[in-house]
C-alpha cells in the first residue's frame, strides 16, 4: 500500500483556505468543488472494482455506489461554503457526497447533496465519539453488516423514502482525504485516497490501479494477517522479519490489483504505467523503505501479471487470480 499510517482526518484539513487566484485568467474551482469532483471519481471507480470483482472476494458486503458526507467534517466558518459545493442544505444531517453512475443509489434517484435523515425508518447513527468521521463510520459499518442484496429504505426528510437495492461487492468503503499527499491506505474495511494521489493520476485507469492496490489489501486480509503474524508496526517494521512480511503483502496486493483492473474492465497495463510514473516522480525517497519493493521490481511484477492475463484471454480461459483461492502463509 502507499502508506500504512493510521487513517485520521482532522477537521482542519478540510477548512484550509482556498489558494488565492485574483490574477488568474479563468476562475478556479473552489477547494470544496475540487474535493466533490474527486469524490465522484473515487465513488465510480470503487463501485466498479468492488462489484465487477465480487465473485473473487470471500468476504462481501452491499455496495450502493455512494460516498457519504457530513457537515461535521468542515470548520463552522467554512461549513456553508463546503455544503454549497455539494448542493447540500446547511444543517447537521449527513448527506450524499458522490453517486457512481448506474449504481443502485443512482437508479433509486439519490443525488449529490441529498440530506439523509433515516435508514430503514431509523435515524442515522450519530457515532460513538467526536471524531469528524465517527458518524460516517457508524453508518458504513452498519450497512456493511447487512445482507449484500437486501433493499434499504432511505429517507431524506422530504417526500416518500427511496428504496435502494444494493449490489453484492467486495468488502470496502471509499473516502477521499483532503491535502496534497500522494498516498492511499487500506485498513481492512475502508480505502482512503488522498487528494494528491487523485491529482497525480488524471486518467481513471491509472487511478483505478492505485485504488485496486489498496482494495487488494482488504480482499487479501493483509492487516488481519499481519497482526496475526505479530509484526512490529513501530520503527522496527523497517527491518528483519516484519519488513519482509510487509513487503510480501505489498507484492501480493500488486499482483491482485492487475487482476482487479482486468475484472472490472480497466486496462491491466495501467498498473505498470502508474507505478512507473509514481516511482519516477519528483520528491520520491532516494531509497525505498524495507517494507516495499523498489519501483522497478514492482513494475516487473505488474507486467508479469498483465502478461498472464493477456495469455489467458488469448486462449479463451476464464480469468481467475491465483491469490484469491489460496493465500500463502506470512512467515
Residues 6+ apart with CB under 8 A from 306: 258, 268, 269, 271, 272
Mean model confidence pLDDT for the chain? 89
The reply to whether 248 and 317 lie within a common domain is: yes
The reply to whether 224 and 307 lie within a common domain is: yes
Rounded CA gap, 198 and 206, in Å? 9
Rounded CA gap, 296 and 300, in Å? 6
Dump pLDDT digits (tens) for 260-307.
Answer: 999 999 999 999 999 999 999 877 765 667 889 999 999 999 999 999
The reply to whether 221 and 157 lie within a common domain is: no
Q: What is the average per-residue pLDDT within 178-204? A: 94
Rounded CA gap, 246 and 312, in Å? 29
**Does the structure show a pLDDT above 90 at 39?**
yes
Report which DSSP code applies to 92.
S
**Does the structure show a pLDDT above 90 at 1?**
no
Write out the three cell numbers for 126: 450519530
Q: In this structure, is residue 84 part of a structural domain?
A: yes
The reply to whether 162 and 221 lie within a common domain is: no
The reply to whether 265 and 150 lie within a common domain is: no
The reply to whether 227 and 122 lie within a common domain is: no
Q: In this structure, is residue 320 part of a structural domain?
A: yes
Could you tell me if 46 and 105 are in contact, meaning their C-beta atoms sit under 8 angstroms apart?
no
Binning pLDDT at 50, 70 and 90, where does residue 80 land? very high
Dump pLDDT digits (tens) for 49-77.
Answer: 999 999 999 999 999 999 999 999 998 99
Q: Which range among 127-131, 275-279, 311-315 shows the weakest confidence by mean pLDDT?
A: 127-131
Q: What is the average per-residue pLDDT within 178-184? A: 92
Q: In this structure, is residue 143 part of a structural domain?
A: yes
Q: What is the average per-residue pLDDT within 198-226? A: 96
The reply to whether 146 and 46 lie within a common domain is: yes
Q: In this structure, is residue 61 part of a structural domain?
A: yes
Report which DSSP code applies to 286.
S
Which of 114, 146, 170 marks a domain boundary?
170
Q: Which range among 10-24, 188-202, 293-307 shows the weakest confidence by mean pLDDT?
A: 10-24
Number of structural domains (the chain) is 2
Pairing of strands 167-170, 173-177: unpaired
Domain span including residue 166 = 30-170
Binning pLDDT at 50, 70 and 90, where does residue 5 land? very low
How confident is the model at residue 132, as a pLDDT? 82
Whose CA is closest to 219, among 67, 8, 49? 49
Which of 170, 201, 223 marks a domain boundary?
170
**Does the structure show a pLDDT above 90 at 327?**
no
Q: In this structure, is residue 118 part of a structural domain?
A: yes
Q: In this structure, is residue 145 part of a structural domain?
A: yes
- State the CATH number of the domain containing residue 164: 2.30.42.10
Binning pLDDT at 50, 70 and 90, where does residue 15 land? very low
Binning pLDDT at 50, 70 and 90, where does residue 27 land? low
The reply to whether 36 and 104 lie within a common domain is: yes
Rounded CA gap, 325 and 248, in Å? 17
Which of 119, 146, 170 marks a domain boundary?
170
Whose CA is closest to 44, among 211, 234, 285? 211
The reply to whether 50 and 154 lie within a common domain is: yes
The reply to whether 95 and 45 lie within a common domain is: yes
Q: In this structure, is residue 207 part of a structural domain?
A: no
The reply to whether 159 and 232 lie within a common domain is: no
Q: In this structure, is residue 159 part of a structural domain?
A: yes
The reply to whether 162 and 50 lie within a common domain is: yes
How confident is the model at residue 287, as a pLDDT? 61
Amino acid at each position: 500500500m502507499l502508506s500504512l499510517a493510521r487513517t485520521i482526518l482532522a477537521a482542519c484539513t478540510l477548512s484550509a483556505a482556498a489558494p488565492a487566484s485574483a490574477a488568474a485568467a479563468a476562475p478556479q474551482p473552489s477547494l470544496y468543488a475540487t474535493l466533490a469532483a474527486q469524490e465522484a471519481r473515487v465513488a465510480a471507480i470503487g463501485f466498479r472494482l468492488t462489484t465487477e470483482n465480487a465473485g473473487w472476494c470471500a468476504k462481501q458486503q452491499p455496495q450502493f455506489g455512494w460516498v457519504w458526507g457530513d457537515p461535521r467534517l468542515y470548520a463552522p466558518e467554512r461549513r456553508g461554503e463546503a455544503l454549497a459545493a455539494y448542493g447540500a442544505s446547511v444543517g447537521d444531517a449527513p448527506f450524499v457526497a458522490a453517486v457512481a453512475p448506474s449504481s443502485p443509489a443512482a437508479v433509486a434517484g439519490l443525488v449529490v447533496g441529498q440530506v439523509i435523515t433515516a435508514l430503514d425508518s431509523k435515524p442515522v447513527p450519530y457515532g460513538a465519539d467526536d471524531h469528524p468521521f465517527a458518524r460516517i463510520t457508524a453508518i458504513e459499518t452498519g450497512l456493511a453488516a447487512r445482507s449484500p442484496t437486501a433493499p434499504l429504505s432511505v429517507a431524506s426528510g422530504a417526500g416518500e423514502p427511496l428504496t435502494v437495492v444494493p449490489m453484492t461487492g467486495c468488502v470496502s468503503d471509499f473516502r477521499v482525504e483532503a491535502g496534497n499527499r500522494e498516498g492511499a491506505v487500506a485498513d481492512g474495511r475502508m480505502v482512503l485516497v488522498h487528494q494528491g494521489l487523485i491529482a497525480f493520476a488524471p486518467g481513471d485507469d491509472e487511478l483505478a490501479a492505485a485504488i485496486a492496490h489498496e482494495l487488494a489489501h482488504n480482499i487479501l486480509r493483509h492487516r488481519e494477517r499481519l497482526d496475526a503474524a505479530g509484526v512490529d508496526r513501530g520503527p522496527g517494521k523497517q527491518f528483519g522479519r516484519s519488513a519482509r512480511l510487509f513487503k510480501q503483502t505489498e507484492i501480493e496486493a500488486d499482483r491482485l490489483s492487475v487482476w482487479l483492473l482486468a475484472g472490472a474492465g480497466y486496462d491491466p497495463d495501467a498498473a505498470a504505467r502508474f507505478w512507473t510514473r509514481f516511482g519516477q516522480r519528483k520528491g520520491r525517497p532516494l531509497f525505498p523503505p524495507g517494507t516495499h519493493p523498489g519501483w522497478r521490481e514492482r513494475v516487473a511484477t505488474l507486467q508479469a501479471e498483465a502478461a498472464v492475463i493477456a495469455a489467458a484471454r488469448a486462449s479463451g480461459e476464464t480469468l481467475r487470480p491465483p491469490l484469491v483461492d489460496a493465500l500463502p502463509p506470512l512467515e
